[in-house]
Amino acid sequence: MSAIRILVVDDERLARISLADFLQETGYDTATAGDGESAIQLQQERPFDVCILDIRMPGMDGADVILALYQIEPRSRFIVYTGSPQFTLTPALETIGISEQHIVRKPVSDLNTFTTLITSYGYPATPQIGEPTDE
For residue range 75-114, what is the model confidence (pLDDT) as tens digits? 999 999 999 888 999 999 999 999 999 999 999 999 999 9
- Predicted confidence band of residue 3 (pLDDT cuts 50, 70, 90): confident
What is the number of structural domains in the chain? Answer: 1
Residue 77 belongs to some domain of the structure? yes
How high is the pLDDT of residue 124? Answer: 78
**What is the reported pLDDT for 135?**
40
**Residue 71 domain flag:** yes
Is 41 a domain residue? yes
Task: Identify whether the C-beta of residue 113 lies closer than 8 Å to the C-beta of residue 23.
Answer: no
Residue 12 placed within a domain: yes
37-80: pLDDT as tens digits = 999 999 999 999 999 999 999 999 999 999 999 999 999 999 99
Domain membership flag for residue 66: yes
- Rounded to two decimals, the pTM is 0.90
Asked whether residue 134 carries a pLDDT value surpassing 50, the answer given is: no
Confidence (pLDDT) at 123: 87
Residues 14, 28: Cα–Cα separation, whole Å: 19
Q: Is residue 131 part of a domain?
A: no
Rounded Cα gap, residues 101 and 93, in angstroms? 13
Q: What is the pLDDT of residue 46?
A: 95
Average pLDDT of span 7-15: 96
Range of the structural domain that residue 16 is part of: 5-120
> In this structure, what CATH number is given to the domain that contains residue 71?
3.40.50.2300
Asked if the structure places residue 132 within a domain, the reply is no
Instruction: Tell me whether strands 29-33 and 77-82 are parallel, antiparallel or unpaired.
Output: unpaired
